[in-house]
Amino acid sequence: MSAQGAAAASAAGFGRHLRLNGFGWTTLAVVVLLVGVPVVSVLVMSFREGLPGRATGFTFANYVEAYTDPILGTVVLNTVLFALTTVAIALVFVLPLVWLINRTDLPFKRLILVLMISGFLVPSFLRAAGWILVFSPQVGLANQLVQTLLGLAEPPFNIYNIPGMALVQGLSLVPSAFFMLSAAASAMDPALEEASLATGASRLRTTLQVSLPLIWPALLATLIYLLMLAVSLFEVPAIIGWPARIFVLSSLVYFAVTPNTGLPSYGLAGAYGALMAGLGLLLAFVYFRVVRQTRRYQIVTGRGYRPSMVPLGRWKVPALAFVALFLFMELVLPLAALLWVSLLPRVQPFSFEALAQVSLANYYAIPSYVGWEPFINTAILVLLAPTFAIVLSVFVSWVVVRHAFPLRGLLDGLAFLPNAVPHILFAVALAYLALLFRSWLPIYGTLGIIVLAHGIAFLAYGSRTLNGAIIQIQRELEEAGAVCGSSRLRVLRRIVLPLISRAVFNAWLWIGLLSYREVTIALVLTSAGNIVLATLIWQLWTNGLAPEVGALGVLFMLAAVVVSWLAFGVFARALGAPSTTSS
């Protein structure tokens, strides 16, 4: 071949390569813009002083102010203690629950799972409010009742401490950890346990020395994932910690951008945020390293088997009591407290005098202090945020799983980044960028910026869900579409999307529910024109309007549970598949 012919062939091959990877480069550029730029802006703002657009040049003043403040050491210690205690409490409940539901003949499993999912839909700040209404030294129903019955001078319970914060937060993380560990626990080969039992080992020794090591990688990955969440959480530490002046890193970020007096300090928030982001990225690195090692622990082979169910026998009643205790603490207690307070004109313990005051007055008064705008804004948020997240997730997952894109690993890592970087930092970064570019992108203070922030924050969940769904599709189906002359977008729209439609809908619905219950992002980005129900309830609580919070909170939680299960049932029937609620 001549030199000119070789050059032409090389140019043609390069052009074809660009065309094939153009889709990947476009997707990567969008994700870099939406995820990478906000993360980098946290670092950039940490070296600037003043408001966006009026900031001074490069400076270390924010780091000097933040890291020489004596309170920082206490705050970091609080954050570490809160995170470790939260994860420990979650594991205390989740490990027995995983074993009981996946490996034993425990009755009422379907009901337990439904209640567990329903509990997950309860926003963390409402759960915290419910616990405060029961165990607060000032207004706690349990404290008032015990003091009245026993004649105590001092309240016996106090939730305003790190163990109280960790207990409430740990219970809220149990459903997530349960579903992360269930697949590994249900797939264990019973022959390994039977061999241990045959040698004379007790059931407890077999569990500790055989069963637990087999799920160790999944357990370690779950533990690190929970730590990533616990380090970045804001709602429970704010609701329970602030009255006792117990602050964590997310508290310092929030105070920096929403001061009681003066102007927000985005530079100071960036300095605190750099520490949080660095810790989150370190944990994310360890998480990926752990996930890569799971192949060494593969125990599902080609031969068929069904994991055996361990008969509980006389331990069935204690097992059910343990599950009931968890469900009571996670779901029943906070919901019952909010319901009781919502029926009264003021917070008071159960008594015949209180029963005489029970009414629906707080529910009837909701339109007078809420109006329609928060409901409309919430509905728009719940519809648009998951739609935006899923559209982006479809493109990301298709490139990562199907394309021979040279930077698909980077794309996948960027898509996971919202799990490693706290949501409050994404909200602060978007507020900073919106102010910086407000002249040509006027989204600051609008509902659009909250929708954008939620879509970015839940990209990791959407892409991880759709990665698994696309992996299950045989490549031949897409190749057949390409042979017929269909473009890549047409193959995606006409072949891939119909095949993963259920995964798409489930992810869309779940992200919508997560957006519905999320308050941190909306709270940082809130203004007079974009208030949603979550931020409204938060504002009512901070103003001391507990009965109003109870009424609105009960409706808030019931709406999430009812809508989610109705939607799952409708979609399952549309596909001709069994419903999740009836399986």
The pLDDT value recorded for residue 327 is 92
* Distance in angstroms (rounded) separating the CA atoms of residues 67 and 488: 51
* Distance in angstroms (rounded) separating the CA atoms of residues 409 and 43: 23
| Cβ–Cβ < 8 Å for 171, 329 | yes
**Strand, helix or coil for residue 39:** helix
| Cβ–Cβ < 8 Å for 433, 50 | no
The separation between the first and the last C-alpha atoms of the chain, rounded to the nearest angstrom, is 65
DSSP state of 243: G
The pLDDT value recorded for residue 566 is 65
Q: What's phi and psi for 157, nearest 5 deg?
A: -115, 145
* Distance in angstroms (rounded) separating the CA atoms of residues 87 and 96: 15
* pLDDT tens digit sequence for 384-418: 999 999 999 988 988 888 777 788 888 888 888 88
CA 136 from centre of chain: 27
The candidate with the shortest Cα–Cα distance to 39, out of 424, 375, 552, 362, is 424
DSSP state of 351: -
Beta partners for residue 310, in sequence order: 104
Torsion of Cα atoms, 272 then 276 then 279 then 283, to 10°: 180
Residue with token string 């939406």: 34
DSSP for 204-220, written as a single string? HHHIIIIIHHHTHHHHH
C-beta atoms surrounding 466 within 10 Å? 24
Contacts of 191 (CB under 8 A, 6+ apart): 305
| Cβ–Cβ < 8 Å for 316, 100 | no
Q: Give the 3-state secondary structure percentages of the chain, helix then strand then coil, rounded to 5.
A: 75, 0, 25
401-429 per-residue burial string, b: 16 or more CB within 10 A, e: under 16: bbbebeebeebbbbbbbbbbbbbbbbbbb
CA 337 from centre of chain: 24
Tokens of 463: 């892409």
The pLDDT value recorded for residue 577 is 41
Tokens of 515: 């957006």
* Distance in angstroms (rounded) separating the CA atoms of residues 465 and 460: 9
Burial group, residue 354, by CB count within 10 angstroms (0-12, 13-18, 19+): middle
Q: Which residues of the chain have pLDDT under 70?
A: 1-21, 55-56, 183-198, 200-216, 291-308, 472-489, 491, 493-495, 564-583
The pLDDT value recorded for residue 10 is 43
* pLDDT tens digit sequence for 252-309: 999 998 887 778 888 899 999 999 888 888 888 887 777 666 544 444 444 445 556 7
DSSP for 423-464, written as a single string? HHHHHHHHHHHHHHTTTT---TTSHHHHHHHHHHHTHHHHHH
DSSP state of 36: I
The pLDDT value recorded for residue 142 is 86
Maximum Cα–Cα distance for the chain, whole Å?
102
- Our CA angle for 565, 502, 566, nearest 5°, is 15
The pLDDT value recorded for residue 581 is 36
The pLDDT value recorded for residue 486 is 60
DSSP state of 372: S
Rg (CA), the chain: 26
Q: Which amino acid is at 114?
A: V
Architecture category of domain 365-544 in CATH? Orthogonal Bundle (1.10)
The pLDDT value recorded for residue 397 is 87
The candidate with the shortest Cα–Cα distance to 432, out of 48, 62, 63, 58, is 48
Tokens of 541: 């609580």
The candidate with the shortest Cα–Cα distance to 247, out of 264, 234, 260, 256, is 234
User: pTM of the prediction?
Assistant: 0.83
The candidate with the shortest Cα–Cα distance to 96, out of 327, 310, 332, 319, is 319
DSSP state of 47: T
The candidate with the shortest Cα–Cα distance to 232, out of 299, 185, 283, 184, is 283
**Strand, helix or coil for residue 104:** strand
Helices vs. strands in the chain: H and E counts, helices first: 32, 0
The pLDDT value recorded for residue 352 is 78
Q: Which amino acid is at 337?
A: A
DSSP for 270-330, written as a single string? HHHHHHHHHHHHHHHHHHHHHHHGGGGG----SS---PPPBP-GGGHHHHHHHHHHHHIII
Own/partner long-range contacts of 108-111 (Cβ < 8 Å, ≥24 apart): 108/320, 110/583
CA 307 from centre of chain: 30
